[in-house]
Chain A
Amino acid sequence: MSDKDDIETPLLTEAAPILEDGNCEPAKNSESVDQGAKPESKSEPVVSTRKRPETKPSSDLETSKVLPIQDNVSKDVPQTRWGYWGSWGKSILSSASATVATVGQGISNVIEKAETSLGIPSPSEISTEVKYVAGETNAKENENSSPVAGAFGVFSTISTAVQSTGKSVISGGLDALEFIGKKTMDVIAEGDPGFKRTKGLMNRNATLSQVLREAKEKEEIRTSNEVTMETDKKTHYGLLFDEFQGLSHLEALEMLSRESEIKVKSILNSLSGEELETLKVELEQLKEAFSLAEFCEEEEEEKKGDEDFTKDITELFSQLHVSSKPEKLARARNTAHEWIRKSLTKPLAENEEGEKQSEAENTEQVNKNSIEDIHAFAIRSLAELTACSIELFHKTAALVLHGRKQEVTAIERSQTLSQMAIVLCKELSSLSKEFTTCLTTAGVEEMADVLNPLITAVFLEASNSASYIQDAFQLLLPVLEISLIENKIESHRHELQGQKPLLEH
């Protein structure tokens, strides 16, 4: 809650700047800062700033309906989470299931191999087992303090549900991944009675960054209370995402999005008749470009070259005509791929690669990456890549709003951005595939119940990452809307000035 208020208030101040001329001693009384407000906030200041209120009037209804399910799920998740879920669940759902689907195919080969070497039952056998195990979820929930639980990051709610069944499930390859997808869908659908009529992302009652921030802060509290959980912290997606400044960029993007949305609304309200109709048509086109960004097509050519991503993304970026460059993103992505490549080739080429062993990180690579290392690096990479992607969207928004005029229309930009969102999601998906290949390769001798949760975690966070990116992408819509409107007004004004210089618009 507090986030939102903070950000909106300055807007008001901006609209009506208070000019105090006589008062010219700013920092001098920094020592008496905030005295006015002090008395009010004496009690429980910590809680209020850090945590959003647990109960929200708007979600009361939802919460009560949801209660039965809630009992099923992990205890340390506050009720309100379900309310939030629903509001942005739609996009999670589409991306989650899509990611899982694409991802599933790639991994099935790998898993087949693993299965045969591990003597794991066939997928169909497991599917039946799934139903069985799913019933036991309840009982298992309470023991969920295993170190792995933390690895599931932001989506601890779902992951706890998935995790306990996941152990036996995941080796079933596609089956299991579908199961996760369904489970996710069920949880979301049940958690949000209004699921079917979720209108759009902008109607959410909690922003994505708030949800993420809450999850991160909870995790911070948890980790700081459990000193032994060093590794846990390293694999917590939310904390890492924040470390890469993903949360800040997301908030900044949300702020720009919200400001733009307000402007769009007020302009639309001020228009009428033909003017309004033509504008609406154009805005509709813009929206279309945004809804096309579904992650639907499967014609993904197998294994494109390594440089393609960088090339694609750079090209897309140049089409945007914003002065920001995707170098940071490309670097993060290439680092991840390089790491994977080394991790996979090392067992064979360990002796020959003498020249490359000079780097510091290679000292530990000599002892081959453990599955924990791979898992930690995978989560880290996903968090970094997502944070970089969101940073790019944020910068794009800032430049679309305040950059120099460019010869590119808002609709063209939306189409480019939508392609970019797809490229990014695909990249995350293929990256997660490669990481799980690493995991399966390195963990051939591991027990399934050690290896599988790690694999699940990677897929889950990859799918989460994809949904953050899609949500962030959606935040750009109002920004492009206002850009479209402003360009239109601008050109209209030019026309008027050209034709009838005396007429005021």
Chain B
Amino acid sequence: MEAIWLYQFRLIVIGDSTVGKSCLIRRFTEGRFAQVSDPTVGVDFFSRLVEIEPGKRIKLQIWDTAGQERFRSITRAYYRNSVGGLLLFDITNRRSFQNVHEWLEETKVHVQPYQIVFVLVGHKCDLDTQRQVTRHEAEKLAAAYGMKYIETSARDAINVEKAFTDLTRDIYELVKRGEITIQEGWEGVKSGFVPNVVHSSEEVVKSERRCLC
């Protein structure tokens, strides 16, 4: 456990039921792949530190949402406080790809007045023989919405790190440029803690107010 990080980003993972959201997150946070897993109930929570530059760590809080329609009223509540999101579909399931539009519409309604930086993720790319969605059309759709596209496999650990860290980097750039700012009442980005050896314990109390640049 390491409490020292520059920022904390909240990421939300959405997409149709059974596209592999929880498996992707578990691969990323726990380094494991579970052959069998129960459908997610409501929301689940994970976290991991990512080092985007030497010495610069970002804590990711990842919200895993249930794909099932019946939990939609719960999962919706989590859009607003997310700065980034992974929108998953299953490359072997055409329907899950077609629903990408709906997911984007849904988030758009519920995220206001904020916005989420999304990456489109074509999951289960290890099952290339059963592919129903070509890389080309997925890339086209992603581009239309200004998203990046990446294909991943939790089972074979393909691009899992990359999917999360690329998104984290992109958000970090936006934060650095001031295009995403830390705001009161919004949990998407929070400032972290940087070790400070010089302060005495008296000053530590005061330094809670310091601005982290």
Max chain A Cβ within 10 angstroms of own Cβ: one of B3, B108, B205: B3
Chain B positions 3 through 15: 1 when the CB is less than 8 Å from some CB of chain A, otherwise 0: 1100000000000
The reply to whether B38 and A221 contact each other, CB–CB distance below 8 Å, is: no
> What is the minimal beta-carbon distance from B153 to any residue of chain A, in angstroms?
24
A18 to chain B minimum Cβ distance, whole angstroms, is: 6
Contact B4 A224 (CB under 8 A): yes
The reply to whether B114 and A33 form a contact with Cβ atoms under 8 Å apart is yes
Stretch of A365-373, A394-402, A441-449 that contacts chain B? A394-402
Encoded as 1 (CB less than 8 Å from any B CB) or 0, chain A from 377 to 416 comes to: 0000000000000000011001101110000000000000
The reply to whether the CB of B134 lies closer than 8 angstroms to some CB of chain A is: no
- Given contacts A27-B145, A28-B145, whether A221 and B204 have CB atoms under 8 Å apart is yes
- Determine which of A11, A33, A255 lies in contact with B179 in the assembled complex, contact meaning CB atoms within 8 Å: A33
Q: Is A252 an interface residue (CB 8 A)?
A: yes
Task: Establish whether residues A395 and B42, one from each chain, have CB atoms under 8 Å apart when the complex forms.
Answer: yes
The answer to whether the Cβ of A291 comes within 8 Å of any Cβ in the partner chain is no
With A27-B116, A221-B193, A398-B42 as contacts: A41 and B77 at CB distance below 8 Å = no
Complex contact B3–A41 (CB within 8 A) = no
A297-B190 Cα distance, complex, nearest whole Å? 45
Q: Which of A30, A245, A398 has the most CB of B within 10 A?
A: A30
**Among residues 155 to 190 in chain B, which have CB atoms less than 8 Å away from a CB atom of chain A?**
174, 178-187, 190
Contact A34/B107 with A7-B77, A45-B183, A221-B193 known, Cβ cut-off 8 Å: no
The reply to whether B147 and A220 form a contact with Cβ atoms under 8 Å apart is no
Residues from chain A with a CB closer than 8 A to the CB of B50 are: none
Kindly state the separation between the CA atoms of A243 and B80 in the bound complex, as whole angstroms: 23
CB atoms of B115 and A17 under 8 A apart: no
Known: A14-B76, A224-B4, A225-B195. A33 touches B147 (CB 8 A): no
Cα-based distance from A215 to B209 in the complex (angstroms):
16
Chain A residue at minimal CB-CB distance from B43? A252
Considering the complex, which residues of chain B in the window 61-86 have a beta carbon less than 8 Å from any beta carbon of chain A? 61, 70-71, 73-74, 76-77, 79-81
A245 to B62, CA, bound (A): 11
B127 within 8 A of A: no
Q: Which residue of B lies closest to A1 (CB)?
A: B185
If A11-B77, A46-B211, A224-B193 touch, whether A34 touches B183 (CB-CB below 8 Å) is yes
Closest B residue to A50 using CB positions: B190
- Judge whether B42 and A30 touch: CB under 8 Å: no
Choose one: A18, A49, A221, A401; the contact of B186 (CB below 8 Å): A49
B190–A17 touching, CB < 8 Å: no
Please name the residue on chain B nearest to A395 by beta carbon. Answer: B41
Chain A residues bordering chain B, tally (CB within 8 A): 72
Q: A19 contacts which chain B residues (CB < 8 A)?
A: 109
Alpha-carbon distance A46/B210, docked complex (angstroms) = 8
Chain A residues near B183: list those with CB within 8 A: 34, 37, 40-41, 45, 49
The number of chain B residues with a CB under 8 A from chain A is 64
Q: Quick check: A248 and B45 within 8 Å, CB to CB?
A: yes
The answer to whether residues A45 and B191 also contact, given A7-B77, A17-B109 and a CB cut-off of 8 A, is yes
Is B112 interfacial (CB-CB < 8 Å)?
Answer: yes
Judging by beta carbons under 8 Å apart, are B194 and A224 in contact?
yes
Cβ of B208 and Cβ of A145 under 8 Å apart? no
How many Å lie between the Cα of A280 and that of B182 in the bound state? 45
CB-CB < 8 A to B36: which residues of A?
none
- B110/A13 in contact, CB under 8 A: yes
Mark interface residues in B102-128 (1 if CB within 8 Å of A CB, else 0). 001001111011111110000000000
Q: Which residues of B contact A23 (CB under 8 A)?
A: 108
Tell me whether A27 and B147 are in contact in the complex, defined as CB-CB below 8 angstroms, given that A44-B209, A49-B183 are known contacts: yes
Given A27-B117, A224-B196, is A45 in contact with B145 using a C-beta cutoff of 8 Å? no
Complex: A103 Cα to B104 Cα, angstroms: 53
What are the residues of chain A within 8 A of B47 when measuring CB–CB? 243, 245
A16-39 CB contacts (< 8 Å) to partner B: 17-20, 23, 25-38
Smallest CB separation, A401 vs chain B (Å): 8
B199 CB within 8 Å of chain A? yes
Cβ contacts under 8 Å, B205 to chain A: 76
Say which residue of B1, B110, B179 sits within 8 Å of A31 (CB atoms). B179
- Interface pairs (25), CB distance under 8 Å: A2-B184, A2-B187, A6-B80, A9-B80, A10-B76, A23-B108, A27-B116, A30-B174, A33-B114, A33-B179, A37-B181, A38-B178, A40-B183, A45-B182, A45-B184, A49-B185, A220-B3, A224-B196, A227-B197, A245-B45, A324-B38, A324-B41, A395-B42, A402-B42, A402-B71
Name 15 extra pairs, CB < 8 A, besides A6-B187, A30-B117, A34-B114: A5-B185, A10-B76, A14-B110, A27-B116, A29-B146, A45-B183, A221-B204, A224-B193, A225-B199, A323-B41, A325-B38, A395-B42, A398-B74, A402-B71, A402-B73
Give me the interface of B with A, judged by CB distance under 8 Å: 1, 3-4, 38, 41-47, 61, 70-71, 73-74, 76-77, 79-81, 104, 107-110, 112-118, 145-147, 174, 178-187, 190-191, 193-197, 199, 201, 204-205, 207-212
